[in-house]
Amino acid sequence: ELKVEQNPLFLSMQEGKNYTIYCNYSTTSDRLYWYRQDPGKSLESLFVLLSNGAVKQEGRLMASLDTKARLSTLHITAAVHDLSATYFCAVSSGTYKYIFGTGTRLKVLA
Amino acid sequence: NAGVTQTPKFQVLKTGQSMTLQCAQDMNHEYMSWYRQDPGMGLRLIHYSVGAGITDQGEVPNGYNVSRSTTEDFPLRLLSAAPSQTSVYFCASSPLGGGYSYEQYFGPGTRLTVT
């Protein structure tokens, strides 16, 4: 059974600081997705990582995938208040099923 | 493009009532899915479809039915609502290619309360 764990679950950080969110999964998968959710809103796709060693960057966010370690990271560089949200990773279980992590609630303090 | 739309936005049901949550997309995506989101549990897949006439169960399918008669629509039916089905429901869609789906586009959600 595929399980996906994110840590930390909650993260409060100062503006301008760097931090990393971790996503571990329990069985082999070569596709990993990161989503963002603002409070009371829907989910928005951030990154799709399709192969071992994949790295993608958008603004202050960078995601990477290590399929051998079954680990993805979402790195935040010089955080700003607008990045405050909940971040989810999701892993495919079989071709069309997705298992989501429980989410990391990020709060960036001014 | 309207993207993925869901109706209603809010719904209150009494235990034992039935209802259908509507989901439609105008992006011609083959893949559509339903999730429920509960506090502290992330999103859990209820049912999904890879095309008209093709549906399959996800992680938590009990108490829910789906059908897919067109590419655009993917309704979710609750036959006999229970308080445990109180949740926020999201519908999503994505294109398919290479044997897998790409990132999903999510609808705005339906907040359902069962009393």
State whether residue A102 sits within 8 Å of chain B by CB: yes
Mean pLDDT for the stretch of residues B53-68: 96
pLDDT of residue B103: 87
Measured between beta carbons, the chain B residues lying within 8 angstroms of A95 are 99-100
Q: Indicate if the pLDDT at residue B68 is higher than 90.
A: yes
How many Å apart are CA B3 and CA A49, to the nearest integer?
23
> Could you read off the pLDDT of A28-82 as tens digits, one per residue?
877 899 999 999 999 999 999 988 888 999 999 999 999 999 999 999 999 999 9
**Residues in contact with B93: Cβ distance below 8 Å, sequence separation at least 6, in sequence order:** B4, B25, B27, B29, B31, B32, B33, B74, B104, B105
List the single residue in A90, A96, A102 with the smallest CB-CB distance to B31.
Answer: A96
More confident residue, B14 or A53: B14
Q: What is the mean pLDDT of chain B?
A: 94
Q: Are A100 and B43 within 8 A, CB to CB?
A: yes
Q: Count chain A–chain B contacts defined by CB atoms under 8 A.
A: 52
Residues on chain A touching B93 (C-beta within 8 angstroms) = none
CA distance B111 to chain A (A): 10
Question: pLDDT per residue over B71-109, tens digit each?
Answer: 999 999 999 999 999 999 999 999 887 656 678 999 999
